[in-house]
């Protein structure tokens, strides 16, 4: 029974995505959404099973399975802009599909349930950044998180400007901006990682999507918790954390609490097994 119980989380996660898959299929009458969310939910569930079985590259499997699917298939082959500009484009167009559904599920409503799990398991930018050599920050955190708000507003103004100016063939413009945007994101992310010796520097300071993710993540149902009786305040968890979250308290207001990407590095690094995901 105990052996079976530990696989409850992957099953619940898969069923949650399957509910979304079936619901969107029936609501919008498009079977694509059934296959889309079934695939993503299946990849996440598989990753959780591998994590439970202590497979070293469990999270990487999910990152590339979901990340490449969204970047290559949805973005480059289907020509859907899945970046934040695509969200604004479909929102202004009054269309609930593609990027608007993606953002609604993964980045606006979803974080109330799984926090910033998107950042840790599905982001196609972070899947590359996590391969860089600075898996734990080698320098103190900088107070430049305000940059993300500038990028966020810039993306909104860019798309709004296209509509106000009546730019023709907007779908082609959106596709080209998706390609250009990803090139810029990867370049800036790699340069920042090298300069600050921190793989996740882009996520902390530049990524505009975190403007959506952070507020909802504060209330996340899935989060790392600490058994304060076992904790010896050694600091190993924070040193292992790529996002520098203080895991020595269960308070919602803990330092960098809305930055947690559920990677589990703190759980693995705790010498007294005081942390649990």
> What pLDDT is attached to residue 66?
95
> What pLDDT is attached to residue 53?
86
**DSSP code, position 258:** G
The answer to whether 217 and 208 are in contact (CB under 8 A) is no
Strand partners, 227: none
Structural tokens at position 61: 């499997």
| Location of structure tokens 């009458």 | 29
The answer to whether 246 and 228 are in contact (CB under 8 A) is no
Q: How far is CA 28 from the centre of its chain?
A: 25
Q: How far is CA 70 from the centre of its chain?
A: 12
Q: How far is CA 236 from the centre of its chain?
A: 24
Nearest 10 degrees: Cα torsion 92, 82, 204, 159: -30
Q: Give CA–CA dist 125/148, Å, rounded.
A: 15
User: How many other CB atoms sit within 10 Å of the CB of residue 237?
Assistant: 24
> What pLDDT is attached to residue 3?
62
> What pLDDT is attached to residue 77?
95
Tell me the backbone φ, ψ of residue 241, rounded to 5 degrees.
-80, 125
> What pLDDT is attached to residue 2?
59
Q: How far is CA 35 from the centre of its chain?
A: 20
Domain 223-277, architecture per CATH? 2-Layer Sandwich (3.30)
Q: Long-range pairs for 14-20 at CB < 8 Å and ≥24 separation?
A: 14/41, 14/42, 14/44, 14/45, 16/41, 16/113, 17/41, 17/42, 17/44, 17/45, 20/105
SS3 content of the chain, % helix, strand, coil (to 5): 60, 0, 35
pLDDT along the chain (277 residues), means of 10: 71 90 92 94 90 87 94 93 92 86 89 90 93 89 92 96 93 94 95 94 94 91 89 88 89 89 88 88
With both helix axes pointing from N to C terminus, report the angle between 210-217 and 147-164 in degrees, rounded to the nearest 10. 120
What are the residue ranges spanned by the domains of the chain? 81-217, 223-277
The answer to whether 146 and 206 are in contact (CB under 8 A) is no
């Amino acid at each position: 029974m105990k052996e079976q119980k530990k696989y409850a989380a992957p099953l619940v996660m898969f069923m949650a995505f399957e509910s979304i898959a079936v619901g969107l299929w029936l609501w919008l009458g498009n079977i694509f959404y059934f296959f889309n969310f079934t695939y993503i939910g299946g990849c996440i569930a598989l990753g959780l099973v591998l994590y439970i079985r202590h497979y070293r590259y469990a999270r990487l499997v999910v990152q590339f399975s979901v990340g490449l699917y969204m970047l290559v298939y949805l973005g480059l082959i289907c020509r859907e802009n899945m970046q934040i500009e695509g969200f604004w484009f479909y929102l202004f167009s009054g269309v609930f599909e593609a990027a608007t559904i993606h953002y609604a599920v993964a980045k606006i409503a979803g974080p109330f349930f799984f926090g910033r799990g998107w950042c840790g398991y599905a982001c196609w930018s972070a899947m590359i950044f996590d391969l860089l050599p600075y898996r734990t920050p080698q320098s103190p955190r900088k107070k430049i998180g305000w940059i993300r708000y500038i990028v966020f507003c810039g993306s909104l103004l860019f798309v709004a400007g296209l509509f106000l100016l009546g730019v023709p063939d907007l779908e082609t413009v959106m596709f080209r901006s998706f390609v250009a945007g990803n090139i810029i994101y990867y370049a800036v992310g790699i340069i920042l990682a090298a300069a600050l010796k921190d793989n996740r520097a882009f996520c902390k300071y530049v990524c505009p999507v975190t403007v959506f993710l952070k507020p909802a993540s504060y209330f996340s149902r899935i989060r790392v918790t600490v058994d304060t009786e076992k904790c010896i305040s050694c600091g190993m968890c924070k040193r292992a954390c790529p996002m520098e979250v203080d895991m020595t308290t269960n308070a919602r207001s803990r330092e960098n609490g809305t930055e947690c990407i559920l990677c589990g590095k703190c759980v693995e690094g705790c010498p007294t097994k005081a942390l649990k995901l």
